Structure 1
Amino acid sequence: MPPPGVCMSIMQERNKQEGVGSLANPEKHSNQDFQQLKQYCLARGVRYIDEMFPPDHNSIGDGLLSSDFMSRVVWLRPAKIIQNPDFIVDGLSRFDFGQGMVEDCWFLASIGALTFQKDILEQVVPLNQTFKEDYCGIFHFRFWRFGRWVDVVIDDKLPTVDGNLIFVHSKTPNEFWPALLEKAYAKVCGSYADMNLGTPSEAMMDFTGGVHITFKLTDAPSNLWDLLFRAVQSKSLIGCGTPQGETSANTVAPNGLVRGHAYTVTGVNKQILSQGRPVNLIRLFNPWGRGEWKGDWSDKSSMWQTVSPNDRKMCLSVKEDGEFWMTMEDFCKHFTDVTICCMRPDFLDGNSKGLWTHSIHDGRWVAGTTAGGCMNFPNSFWTNPQYRVKIEGLDRDCSETQGDNNMLVSLMQKPDKRNRRLVKSLYIGINIFEVRSQFKGQRGKFPADFFNTNVPVAQTKNVLNVRTVVLLSRLKPGEYLIVPSSFNPNETASFILSILSKVETQVHENSNDQDIVEIPKLMPTHNRADMDNKQTLFRQYSDQFEEVDAEQLQRILNETLLQGYAKKTQGFSLESCRSMVALMDTSITGKLNSAEFQHLWRKVTVYKDIFLRSDVNRSGMLSLSQLRNAVTASGVRLSDSLLNLIALRYGGSSGNISLESFISLVLRMDRMAKIFRQLNQGGAISLRDNEWMYITMYA
């Protein structure tokens, strides 16, 4: 069983700092080590079978194949399909493959783009794999998945019917890199069925770890052809899509284009002369490997007779291979959007010197604490995660003409489900605010008043239900606040915020400065009568040794502290009282003496008072938004990430926190912070395993 999620988060963050998850040192998907598994199989003379993505119907997934067809599926290794299988035959090309029974044209269109960029392709597809030397039925591929590179191991058993591959297949019968690459991506998506439907930007980002910019062709920039031409030159992956037809089926229009289909942009010419007039042409590829445009400049169009023989020879290839040319005007008319994916958006101004810097930040919206919704919700918008950016100076090469954007912010949702089709995407957007001089001394999160009196200097045009939204802007030197948000408040989700800047920039999350809890010491009471009352109360419930155990503490709290409040709460559980005793028990007897009890009682009465003051609607419960105020009033300084964990741990299914839960959580924070302060050396603690268990098992 894997360690608890909070432990895994700490481990992943530490691994990230040590370079794990980088392209040079990818994370092992499903904790599978390719080299170790291969050596194990070679040493024992066996063929590898992947237990994490087994050759059965679960890996195909539900709803993709009919039950009759599914019953005919047989998983075969390539050597059982054809003699002398090979991983790659005569290099990798967009013409190598054809789509199968999965509607993953978006993925295959992205592979088509990938084949043009050899350096990027070799990041994804290790080329030294073979069916000959040291073959044992195991292969691996690399993808960038939500902030980190992962190495994905698969076996080479492929689903077939009557000996034929049913999903992507190579046009060269003994070539298998396309089918194995698709299987590896199906594994990270959850199943083959989970690859149904998508956008090229998703796969292209998973191939590069870069950013993408999508242009809607109904509102295309006037210099789109120049942008595409520069993007082709700058090692970008480019995909596009056609509008949906009357149904979701991929029907073919009379002009030869497939409706609701993804295509690859494979070329942009430098203009050719047709009867003395310059023409801008764009070349596209259908991942079906067949089916082409029938209009002007198609393979058999008479327009090719109007150009020079040299241009015709250079551009025209009359083959039924799915690739064709068309004018930019027809492209904008018959396609809906075009997406450019790149490591750096150098193509925007065509004056790149590799000056873009890139920072990535993991974040989370949690209902009631940091899921504030969009600006339509002014009372909660401020609770969203905030990122403070300081721009030191303008890029010298930026002009006031087209291409003067110096900041790109990308917001990507992270899935909370293993299976891609089960992921619930939110409507998300980005707002950027300028931090003017009167606010530059602000520490911690900017309050609601700031957003009520300031308007964004840049924002996404619309809040979109997509995996990733991108905001391009030009920001002058100064300080800014970037606020990513979902449309509605109280929607829990994780995200990655990427900030690319062509100017010198400093970025940090604008939460409280640290996760360590700081609770001020409660002032001791000098009221003699109050001290006598506590002592009397203690003696009323204590045993003959003047001590109280968890059961006695439960009676005291429920009968005395909750007096007049019983109808609004179920009372302190025995388990929570055991925890309180353990936290306050300095003598490790399992009981509290008089001094320990009075110390505890002083704390819980203060926390009760804070709870009652924070419960403004007198419901007897704190909403998660009220929790933030109550925790702050308790003197606790927390980062958003720790506040999110508290809400998830103590909020329950209702999202509300009871008085006893609030007292328990604040007391735990107080005592655990004190343990850290007592044990830390240089801001960190080092514990032997028995010491760690000693603390955690009695707390």
Structure 2
Amino acid sequence: MGNTVGTPTNPQKFLDQDYEELRRDSVESKSRFVDETFPPDKSSIGQNLLDNDKMARVKWIRPTNMVKDPYLVVKGESRFDFAQGDLGDCWFLAAIGAITFQKDIMDEIIPENQSFSKDYAGIFHFRFWRFGKWVDVVIDDKLPTINGKLIFVHCKTRNEFWPALLEKAYAKVCGSYADLRDGLVSEALRDFTGRVFFTLTLEPDRPKYWSLMKRAAQHRSLMGCGSRHGATSANTELPNGIVERHAYTITDVHKVLSNGESVKLVRLLNPWGRKEWKGQWSARSPLWKTVSAEDRTKLLDSKEDGEFWMSMEDFCRNFAHVDICCRSPVFLDDSSENSWTRVMYEERWEKETASISRDGQTFWMNPQYWMKVPHLDENQTESQSHRNVLVSLMQEPKSRHRRLVQNHPIGFSVFMVPPELRDQKTFPASFFTSSSPVKESPLKSGTREVVEFFRLRPGWYLIVPFTSIPNLTASFFLTVHTNAAESSFTPESCRLL
């Protein structure tokens, strides 16, 4: 497995650039690396991001020419290191805020032995998970500035540059800095980790999911969220301090006793590094005087750094969804890590096989996957609330430029297979016209990935990914997580027919 290309230890070379080879050439020639595949010019900034006046004033400068003592990382990576610049990539920065809590993830993304000192050659590299494979992305360290100051993400510590270089590497993967405008926290969390994610939809008048979020935090999950859309444009600050249509990091979930009553709290971080909640349980709220001195000392921080507490009730009123990213769905049911098994497939829809209608003649030509759901072991329950399958369907873009990607409406259907058909090699059109799916994802457009978590009784099933666009040729990535006794489920239990 360690030699397989596309793993964290052996990532694919993005655009066929070999970091070690390029760095060695630059060191031997005593030159500073300049990346021709992502040149320091307006093409890398992208279209319609800066006005003509700003674009004309942009100068690409290396950190060694900005400060006397540049460092990639100063005293470890922290969620308080950076602040957002003139780029609407709060979704990306909210995800960075989440991963700074876990050094193992940061070490995968930022490979070791990189610095501005020994054998410095103006070249760095970062790693991301992209559609089933890890990729190694090489960049030069020329950064866009105006009047000597970084115009996009920047560190609060003047000589620390990991956020700016990481943002540049991700901009290269996505096509340009302009391609980072607007997105979902879940998208960046997936690209940082390759882990499963699950989205919770919040209801303003029904505060729930706090216990699930608490479990997610206990299982070292990464969490982000998005504020609700209002009548105003994006990034409008409300009187209560919340910014509309904006991404935040969830940095903690905690319960306190206030005047003897239990209160559920959520802590959030604004990637701007400022603009905090002003309501109850904010830094200046008198409610903090009602909790124990121990909790007040432990939890309350009056710094204006963009991080704040709010009650679960206020959280649900102001935020629309929560994205949770974890190694396995274990946090969803508090089960054992060993009980969840994952299998992944990379496949394609071919021309004239894409059809949403099971009455049509092409639906059966979509890829078909067997899935066996075994009997639960004696320590597991068969209650209807026990959800034991999580399916993720991700479509792979044809364009490198993220802003040009057209995410097609995609979904999947799950059919139960009766015993008499379990020797079937391929299921014909007649099976789908006479059978109804036992589970079906909503057909979603405008999103690259559909994720559903549900319960299936023991038996054999067929999963059929589909798109509603006729004559479409496109690649997709299917992941199936199943919760069962470890000895009774293997990757072969879910296979392509």
Check whether TM > 0.5.
Answer: yes
1:475 partner letter: L
Measure the CA separation in 2 of the matches of 1:224 and 1:66: 43
Aligned partner of residue 351 in structure 2, secondary structure: coil
Return the match for 1:507 from 488, 494, 497: 494
2:135 partner letter: V
Q: Tell me the TM-score normalised to structure 2 length.
A: 0.95
The answer as to whether partners of 1:351 and 1:397 remain within 8 angstroms in 2 is no
Measure the CA separation in 1 of the matches of 2:460 and 2:2: 27
Q: Give 1:313-392 correspondences, 5 Å limit.
A: 313-368=297-352, 370-375=353-358, 378-392=360-374
Measure the CA separation in 1 of the matches of 2:385 and 2:218: 16
2:6 partner letter: G
Measure the CA separation in 1 of the matches of 2:41 and 2:178: 13
1:138–1:324 distance in 2 versus 1, CA, 3 Å:
same
Instruction: List gaps (5 residues or longer) in structure 2.
Output: none
More strand, by proportion: 2
Aligned partner of residue 288 in structure 2, secondary structure: helix
* Alignment pair present for 1:405 and 2:387: yes
* Alignment pair present for 1:43 and 2:25: no
The answer as to whether partners of 2:2 and 2:9 remain within 8 angstroms in 1 is no
What does residue 517 of structure 1 align with? Answer: none
Q: Give 1:129-148 correspondences, 5 Å limit.
A: 129-148=114-133
Deviation of the 1:223 alpha carbon: 5.7
* Alignment pair present for 1:123 and 2:104: no
Give the root-mean-square deviation of aligned CA atoms: 1.8
Instruction: List gaps (5 residues or longer) in structure 1.
Output: 1-15, 511-699
Deviation of the 1:221 alpha carbon: 9.2
Deviation of the 1:148 alpha carbon: 0.2
What does residue 12 of structure 1 align with? Answer: none
Return the match for 2:463 from 470, 473, 482: 482
Deviation of the 1:396 alpha carbon: 4.5
The answer as to whether partners of 1:395 and 1:406 remain within 8 angstroms in 2 is no
Deviation of the 1:296 alpha carbon: 0.6
What does residue 23 of structure 1 align with? Answer: 8
What does residue 270 of structure 2 align with? Answer: 286
What does residue 473 of structure 2 align with? Answer: 492
Deviation of the 1:258 alpha carbon: 0.5
Structure scoring higher RCO (CA < 8 A, sep ≥ 6) equals 2
Q: Number of residue pairs matched?
A: 491
What does residue 268 of structure 1 align with? Answer: 253
Measure the CA separation in 1 of the matches of 2:447 and 2:225: 16
1:102 partner letter: L
1:471–1:90 distance in 2 versus 1, CA, 3 Å:
same
Measure the CA separation in 2 of the matches of 1:276 and 1:374: 57
Measure the CA separation in 2 of the matches of 1:81 and 1:247: 38
2:78 partner letter: S
Q: Give 1:610-629 correspondences, 5 Å limit.
A: none
1:389–1:220 distance in 2 versus 1, CA, 3 Å:
farther
What does residue 245 of structure 1 align with? Answer: 230
Measure the CA separation in 2 of the matches of 1:395 and 1:67: 65
* Alignment pair present for 1:416 and 2:401: no
What does residue 417 of structure 2 align with? Answer: 435
1:429–1:17 distance in 2 versus 1, CA, 3 Å:
farther
1:218–1:132 distance in 2 versus 1, CA, 3 Å:
same
* Alignment pair present for 1:226 and 2:211: yes
1:374–1:174 distance in 2 versus 1, CA, 3 Å:
farther
Deviation of the 1:480 alpha carbon: 0.5
The answer as to whether partners of 2:26 and 2:32 remain within 8 angstroms in 1 is yes
Percentage identity across paired residues of the two chains: 53
1:75-128 deviation per Cα after TM superposition (whole angstroms, max 9, x unaligned) = 000011122111111211110000011100000000000001111111111243
Measure the CA separation in 2 of the matches of 1:17 and 1:79: 36
Measure the CA separation in 2 of the matches of 1:170 and 1:500: 38
What does residue 300 of structure 1 align with? Answer: 284
Measure the CA separation in 1 of the matches of 2:183 and 2:357: 26
1:230–1:131 distance in 2 versus 1, CA, 3 Å:
same
1:469 partner letter: V
Measure the CA separation in 2 of the matches of 1:184 and 1:396: 49
More helix, by proportion: 1
* Alignment pair present for 1:102 and 2:87: yes
1:67–1:397 distance in 2 versus 1, CA, 3 Å:
farther
1:538-586 deviation per Cα after TM superposition (whole angstroms, max 9, x unaligned) = xxxxxxxxxxxxxxxxxxxxxxxxxxxxxxxxxxxxxxxxxxxxxxxxx
* Alignment pair present for 1:89 and 2:89: no
The answer as to whether partners of 1:239 and 1:262 remain within 8 angstroms in 2 is yes
Deviation of the 1:36 alpha carbon: 1.1
1:190-244 deviation per Cα after TM superposition (whole angstroms, max 9, x unaligned) = 0000001000000000111111100110299986111111111212110100122
1:262–1:457 distance in 2 versus 1, CA, 3 Å:
same
Measure the CA separation in 2 of the matches of 1:480 and 1:145: 28
2:393 partner letter: L
Q: Tell me the TM-score normalised to structure 1 length.
A: 0.68
